[in-house]
Amino acid sequence: QDQSPFGWLYYGAWKAKGLLASPWIVSAEVTRQFPDTVMLAVSERQPFARWQRPGAGEVLVSEDGTTLPTGAGIVPGDLARLPVVTGWGPERLSEALRLTRALSRYTVQSVTYTPAGFTAKTASGTAWGGDLETFVKYAGSIGMYPNKKIHIYPWGVSVQE
């Protein structure tokens, strides 16, 4: 007999708390449909990037920065296509993932963070920016100057041959 404060119709996320213990699961909810059906709604995280942690090994991360364990169902060839995030200094993973998402139309291969800024290598060139907001704002420069080295500053964009 269910002693849920919500009664027999709605169990909610608390009934699926075992699923929520997995880093692969964003949300899970159990709903009972009268008379004899139980529905389970699950949202899963997807691998978004490979993070080469300073002084440690490479791990998969989702777009929200959650570390995802590898195991059955993870195909190494699929992982090779994911962008690689590296860096040193204070951890800036969440900012690097935001930049990776903002530049996704340029097929990001890698993003490197340092205390001085970010470098993004894409299929069409390399760009550096010291400030994340400015980098994201002027990211269109990557498409305007293919196969060039671009430096994005708050006062303008520098293009190197």
Which two tokens mark 152? 């994005």
For the segment 124-146, the average pLDDT, to the nearest whole number, is 89
pLDDT of 56-84, one tens digit each? 888 899 999 999 887 766 655 678 889 99
CB 82 within 8 A of CB 51: no
Distance CA 101, CA 97 (A): 6
E strand or H helix that includes residue 110: strand 108-114
Q: What is the 3-state secondary structure (H, E, C) of 38-67?
A: EEEEEEECCCCEEEECCCCCEEEECCCCCE
The residues, any chain, with a CB within 8 Å of residue 123's CB and separated by 6 or more, are 106, 107, 109
- pLDDT tens string 90-126: 999 999 999 999 999 989 999 999 999 999 999 888 9
Give me the pLDDT at residue 1, please: 43
Provide the pLDDT confidence category of residue 133 given band limits of 50, 70 and 90: very high
pLDDT (tens digit per residue) in 14-47 = 566 778 888 988 988 888 787 788 888 889 999 9
The DSSP letter of residue 22 is S
Is the confidence at residue 4, as pLDDT, over 80?
no
Q: What percent of the chain has pLDDT over 90?
A: 46
Q: Which of the 8 DSSP states describes residue 5?
A: T
- Give all strands of the β-sheet with 37-44 in edge-to-edge order: 10-12, 25-33, 37-44
- pTM over 0.85? The answer is no
